[in-house]
Amino acid sequence: MQIGPNTSTLIDGWLEAGRGSDTALITADDQPWTANELYRAVCDVAARFDDAGIGREDRVLLVLDDTPAFPAVFLGAMRIGAIPVPVNFLARPDDFGYFLDDSQATTAVVDHAFLEVVGPQVAARPDVKLVVANGATNGAESLDEWMASDAGEVSPVSSQADDMAFWMYSSGSTGPPKGVVHRHSSVAATCAHYAVPVLGISQGDVAFSSTKMFHAYGLGANLSFPLWSGATSVYLTGRPTPDQVLERIRTHRPSLLFSVPALYNGMLAHPGFDDVDWSAVRLGISAAEPLPPEIWRQFHDRTDIEILDGIGSTELLHIYVSNRAGAVRPGTSGLPVDDYEVEIHNSEGEVAEAGEAGEMWVKGPSVLSAYWKQPDRTRDKIRGDWFLSGDRYHKDEDGYYTYLGRIDDMMKIGGLWVSPIEIENRLMEHEAVHEAAVVAVDVDNRSRIKATVILTEEHEAGDDLTAELQQWCKAALQRYQFPHVVDYVDDFPRTATGKIQRFRLRA
């Protein structure tokens, strides 16, 4: 299904194809929503936004879990020319104040479950209109009522492909979160160049993503890709756990499974993993962090499913380098997606020699327009058509790209650059290690390698195991690529998508 210049028409294609009665999504409590129902909800929300005086380029902050309210507000806002800005509902209270102020939002649509945290931030800004979804409103406007107001059809406003469509906030690991501005054309690009040719997504597929739609990876997986192709989305609310993810797979038998390395690993360790009928899943997809080869091998050995690991970012909206079905090389991010160009640049900003590691630069049709109100950051990260990813990569002779770590995470040990990813992958091949994260720390004024390790249930921490793990690394890697320090923990500090917060491991 194609869309016009306005992204909100993703749902219109279903009706034009005569598929209004087909299931577009399945809620977390297993209620199917037809395309007709979703279309009406989008139009109802668009009409009520218009009635409230919300217009072109007004920002609408979304603090929503994965329920029908999300696509209704996201698409409904764009339908009248407003700019939806979804944010992490697990953020800290002060972060919501920052999002409201930085985006200059005129409206905040907040899930009732998050009202206790977000509500005071909205109340402190009397010019911001509060709309509450999925429950009691405490005197505010009710999105539930908006979505049932039977407003009739609302035509999308006239838009150009390069017009501002929506924002997402990137990680705040290098300062406050940054508003990433995307065009209407960005969504079409990720669907046409990645979702269809790489994943083969089509009518009849069932897509399930453990990553939420406020995240760029989840937005594609559970909203734009299925709507574009005529597939069905399966939703999950709350913080995803291996048990919840497996339940969704058992109940709804998705054909496309989008998740992250931590959850793939958690599922493998779950006692019910081998009781699941995996036959409906034709592909797994992984992003947000590199997928360790050992997790790929274990998952494939036990399910016969290939996981396509890839690299994407909020700034590019989705995956732009990916493995392909039937040609996966575990431990790599794969090959560039069609219509995206990738180069490796050295520390001087020049194109690296063949085989030389460096920063990945990428250009393609879904690159951000700018960082909102951050011209210096925009100039620093966008050079002409190229976006500087901040990821350190190596390209092999067959064109496959291997992730070596964020530029900021690379470790210089004894004058030599060391990739934390290589050590982590080696540690995870040991039978005692369930998961590992490697960082550089200062020990007696010298830079040393620290591994933080989660053990499998059958093993216990101790000096003997530490020595064994150190030798295990030395046996397969360069002699200096081993952890000088090993800490044993029950879990890592993680982001809402399961990504390890490495900066906290350095403390």
Task: Locate 77 and state its tokens.
Answer: 């806002």
CA dist., res. 190 & res. 169, Å (int):
18
Angle at 446 between CA 442 and CA 448, to 5 degrees: 60
Q: What pLDDT score was predicted for residue 501?
A: 84
Tens of pLDDT, residue by residue over 297-332, are: 999 999 999 999 999 999 999 999 999 999 999 999
Say whether pLDDT at 342 is over 60. Answer: yes
Which value, to the nearest 10 degrees, does the dihedral of the CA atoms of residues 476, 477, 481, 483 take?
A: -20
Q: Where are the domains of the chain?
A: 7-18+34-182, 410-505
Q: What pLDDT score was predicted for residue 123?
A: 96
Query: What's 305-365 look like in SS3?
Result: CCEEEEEECCCCCCEEEECCCCCCCCCCCEEECCCCEEEEECCCCCECCCCCCEEEEEECC
Say whether pLDDT at 254 is over 70. Answer: yes
Q: Is CATH 3.40.50.620 what the domain over 410-505 is classified as, yes or no?
A: no
Per-residue pLDDT averaged across 73-99, rounded? 96
**7-18+34-182 and 410-505 have identical folds:** no
What residues form DSSP beta bridges with 321?
Answer: 311, 336
Closest CA to 243 of 264, 270, 275: 270
Indicate the helix (H) or strand (E) that contains 502.
helix 502-505
CA dist., res. 212 & res. 24, Å (int):
17
Chain position carrying tokens 């964020």 = 406
Q: What pLDDT score was predicted for residue 496?
A: 65
Say whether pLDDT at 455 is over 60. Answer: yes
Cα–Cα distance list, 118 to 61, 122, 134, 488, 506 (Å): 11, 7, 15, 36, 31
Question: What is the full DSSP assignment across 166-186?
Answer: EEEEPP-TTSS--EEEEEHHH
CA dist., res. 307 & res. 290, Å (int):
12
> How much is the pTM?
0.88
Chain position carrying tokens 């590992």 = 436
DSSP 223: I
CB–CB of 76/45 below 8 Å?
Answer: yes
Q: What pLDDT score was predicted for residue 310?
A: 98
Q: Residue 110 — very low, low, confident or very high, per pLDDT cuts 50/70/90?
A: very high
Q: What pLDDT score was predicted for residue 489?
A: 95
Per-residue pLDDT averaged across 354-375, rounded? 94
Say whether pLDDT at 173 is over 60. Answer: no
Q: What pLDDT score was predicted for residue 354?
A: 81
Say whether pLDDT at 190 is over 90. Answer: yes
Cα–Cα distance list, 452 to 397, 405, 430, 496 (Å): 33, 16, 14, 20
Per-residue pLDDT averaged across 45-62, rounded? 96
CB–CB of 93/119 below 8 Å?
Answer: no
Residue range 7-18+34-182, CATH number: 3.40.50.12780
Mean predicted lDDT score pLDDT of the chain = 93
CA dist., res. 325 & res. 437, Å (int):
28
Kindly report the number of other CB atoms within 10 A of residue 58's CB atom: 18
Closest CA to 73 of 101, 43, 97, 52: 43
